[in-house]
Amino acid sequence: MHDDPIRRFRRFSRAVTTEVGALDASFLGRGRPLGAARVLNAAGKGRREVAEIRDYLGLDTGLMSRLLRSLESEGLIKLSADPQDARRRVVTLTSAGQAEFKAYEALSDEQARCVLERHKRADTLLEAMDLVATALGRDRIELKPEDPRAPAALHCLGRYYEELARRFDQGFDVSLSCDPEAGDMMPPRGLFLIAWSDDLPVGCAGLKGHGGDTAEVKRVWVAPVARGLGLARRLMAAIETAARAQGVTRLLLDTNSRLPEAVAMYRHSGWTQIARFNDDPYPDVFFEKRL
């Protein structure tokens, strides 16, 4: 009875409605209705086009217009015409607006700090929060190309290497493995994709090409908090699509029998096991796929 999944889920909903709802309500402390505060925050976070903000917050054009007017009359924002298309309008925060935005940010940060500081096991709590947030937002996970040397990419790769080191008996040292050149994992020869759940990178996959009709899939990784959401398949499918678009007809990849989930996934996704095709010391299972 106390293990009933539905009951547990609903308990969770109640808890976050109460607690996170209370956090939201604190925005009212700055003497501005929530709607206006949300618009100011969206603008502060870099959403500059009126249509974009309206869309993001799901507002009617009339309501949006009035909210902008009220922020404008408070002297927090300035509206100007988009130079490309004078019908569209662009929001800019005035310095007072910047300050007000920062005040909201500080409020949120402070609340987060309050909750986290009281916890002896903040790391466990955050891990759980990441997992829940990723699961709830699964339909909004986006795959975006990235430079494999960008911070988010290095974050993913670092986690990936750490995990390999934990899984392999002999550990893992990337300098002993054949680490692709960044240029080989970027257009036009290749690609490096990151899966974003909101602002957290939760997975990656690389396509290493050299312009020929064979390319290699590398660095397929899904964060522990994002497993079970079918993200690896989604990343693989995107990589394959990109490979096809780049004229690749044969894909290769190497992996290791200590990663049985990965091996099983490849087997179930149309990959054929083949003989070793490189002398990298880490992999012991090799696959190919004809596109």
Partner DNA sequence: AAATTTAGCTGACTTTAGTCAGCTAAATTT
Partner DNA sequence: AAATTTAGCTGACTAAAGTCAGCTAAATTT
For a copy of itself, the closer CB: 138 or 258 = 138
| DSSP labels, 254-278 | EE-TT-HHHHHHHHTTT-EEE---S
The separation between CA 92 and the C-alpha centre of its own chain, rounded to angstroms, equals 27
Q: Does 10 bind a copy of itself (CB under 8 A)?
A: yes
Partners of 49 in beta bridges: 90
Nearest approach in angstroms of CB 230 to a copy of itself is 8
The separation between CA 48 and the C-alpha centre of its own chain, rounded to angstroms, equals 21
Element at 43 (helix H, strand E): helix 34-44
Q: Under rule CB under 8 A, how many of the chain's residues touch a copy of itself?
A: 56
Taking CB under 8 A as the criterion, the residue among 75, 92, 109, 261 binding a copy of itself is 109
Contact in structure between 226 and 159 (CB atoms under 8 Å): no
Site for a copy of itself in 132-191 (CB under 8 A): 132-138, 151-152, 155
Tell me which of DNA, a copy of itself, none is bound by residue 170, counting a contact when its beta carbon lies within the kind-specific cut-off of 5 to 8 angstroms: none
CA–CA distance, 93 with 40 (Å, rounded to integer)? 8
- Which residues, including other chains, have CB under 8 Å from residue 22's CB and lie 6 or more apart? none
Residue span binding a copy of itself (CB under 8 A) among the ranges 88-96, 121-129, 163-171, 276-284: 121-129
What distance, in Å, lies between the first and last C-alpha atoms of the chain? 50
Amino acid identity, residue 286? F
Nearest approach in angstroms of CB 161 to a copy of itself is 15
* Interaction site with DNA (CB under 7 A): 33-36, 49-51, 54, 59-66, 68-69, 79, 84-89
Amino acid identity, residue 281? P
Tell me which of DNA, a copy of itself, none is bound by residue 87, counting a contact when its beta carbon lies within the kind-specific cut-off of 5 to 8 angstroms: DNA
Site for a copy of itself in 37-96 (CB under 8 A): none
Contact in structure between 43 and 91 (CB atoms under 8 Å): yes
Continuous H helices in 137-279? 151-167, 231-245, 260-267
Residue span binding a copy of itself (CB under 8 A) among the ranges 67-75, 119-127, 232-240, 266-274: 119-127
Q: Does 198 bind a copy of itself (CB under 8 A)?
A: yes
Taking CB under 8 A as the criterion, the residue among 28, 126, 245, 274 binding a copy of itself is 126
Q: Does 113 bind a copy of itself (CB under 8 A)?
A: yes
Q: Which residues of this protein are in contact with a copy of itself, per CB under 8 A?
A: 1-2, 5-20, 23-24, 108-109, 112-113, 115-116, 118-122, 124-138, 151-152, 155, 198-201, 227-229
